[in-house]
Amino acid sequence: MASVIVPAHNEARIIRRCLDSIMQQTAPVETVIVACNGCTDNTVELVQRYYPQVICLDIRKPSKTHALNEAEKHVSSFPVFYLDADTVISPATVQTITHYMDTHPDRLLAAPMPQINTTGSSWFVKQYYRIWLELPYIREGVIGTCSFIMSEAGRQRFDRFPAVINDDGFVRCCFDRHERGNIEGTAITIQAPKTLYSLIKIKTRARLGNMQLDALQLCARPKQADYSGSLKARLFSKACLPTLIYIFIALIIRLRARYQFNHLDNYTWETDHTSR
């Protein structure tokens, strides 16, 4: 049986969708830990009221990585599912991934297949994700899923989660390509930002996090597949326009992340409020 950790910072508006999807799994989950951190809304009260079977931690420090470290003290079984509070998993996800990792001991890190809900999103956001979801490294590499699952052997790769912006990027860097992957037959739904600016904010944060990992030399296995060839091929297809839009937005993200990296001491965590 598996354990699930859900870090949550002021997620009262959406956390019930995530927790309901966990409670409605086809196989029971042994332990669910909600690590509320630095909440100023009623996230804690909501979880305690509607999910008494859940271990609800009320952590004062508003830090996701600190919350993960505290939550892991309550883990009772492996694999451990680390799920963002604004995601929803399909009904058989826990059972399918647990079975897969039990029968494939070489798979140390896994994730469900990502599904992006762009309902209500702007046309530009939809075009961006149209290309993003087709990139090979997204479909295969535990990237952009707002989740990761580690086996017991996989969790031994590092000690504690470091205080970094991109926790999932750090975890991914601890594993070689053949040790990680998305599992077919499972799905995690992620609500896309509604506006282009919100999209740029969250993607800048992810890229900034990767730059921080490189600067701190925390990425032990930094190799990443080159997908420029895939983009070039799309430029000469019917997907030419969305590909151009994707490249343009990616360039803005790159430049914005570089600027923020040069002013990292003054960085303020950017959140997409349009999807909540």
Residue 226 predicted with pLDDT over 70 = no
Total structural domains in the chain?
1
Residue 224 predicted with pLDDT over 70 = no
The predicted pLDDT at position 269 comes to 82
The string of pLDDT tens digits covering residues 74-95 is: 999 999 999 999 999 999 999 9
**Residue 93 CB-density burial (10 A; 0-12 exposed, 13-18 middle, 19+ buried):** buried
Range of the domain at 116: 3-266
The predicted pLDDT at position 234 comes to 86
The predicted pLDDT at position 225 comes to 55
| Residue 44 counted as domain residue | yes
Mean pLDDT for the stretch of residues 182-199? 96
The predicted pLDDT at position 222 comes to 60
The predicted pLDDT at position 48 comes to 98
| pLDDT > 70 in the chain, percent | 97
Q: Residue 75 has what DSSP assignment?
A: -
**Tokens, residue 176:** 């070689």
| Residue 274 counted as domain residue | no
Task: State the CATH number of the domain containing residue 8.
Answer: 3.90.550.10
The predicted pLDDT at position 36 comes to 98
At 58 the three-state DSSP class reads strand
| Residue 88 counted as domain residue | yes
Contact partners, residue 154, CB within 8 Å, separation at least 6: 79, 108, 109, 174, 175, 179
| pTM of the predicted model as reported, rounded to 2 decimal places | 0.94
| Residue 87 counted as domain residue | yes
| Residue 271 counted as domain residue | no
Inter-residue contact 217 to 210 (CB < 8 Å): no
pLDDT band at 132 (very low <50, low <70, confident <90, very high): very high
Cα separation, 22 vs 4, in Å, equals 8
The string of pLDDT tens digits covering residues 5-64 is: 999 999 999 999 999 999 999 988 999 999 999 999 999 999 999 999 999 999 999 999
Cα separation, 254 vs 248, in Å, equals 10
Inter-residue contact 162 to 233 (CB < 8 Å): no
| Residue 273 counted as domain residue | no
The predicted pLDDT at position 91 comes to 97
| Residue 34 counted as domain residue | yes
Cα separation, 79 vs 216, in Å, equals 28
**Tokens, residue 125:** 């956001």
For residue 33, give the nearest of 45, 11, 51, 49 by alpha carbon. Answer: 51
| Residue 272 counted as domain residue | no
Cα separation, 24 vs 196, in Å, equals 33
Mean pLDDT for the stretch of residues 211-229? 78
Mean pLDDT for the stretch of residues 160-184? 94
Alpha-helical segments (H) within 64-151: 64-71, 93-103, 123-132, 136-140
Residue 140 predicted with pLDDT over 70 = no
Residue 192 predicted with pLDDT over 90 = yes
Residue 264 predicted with pLDDT over 70 = yes
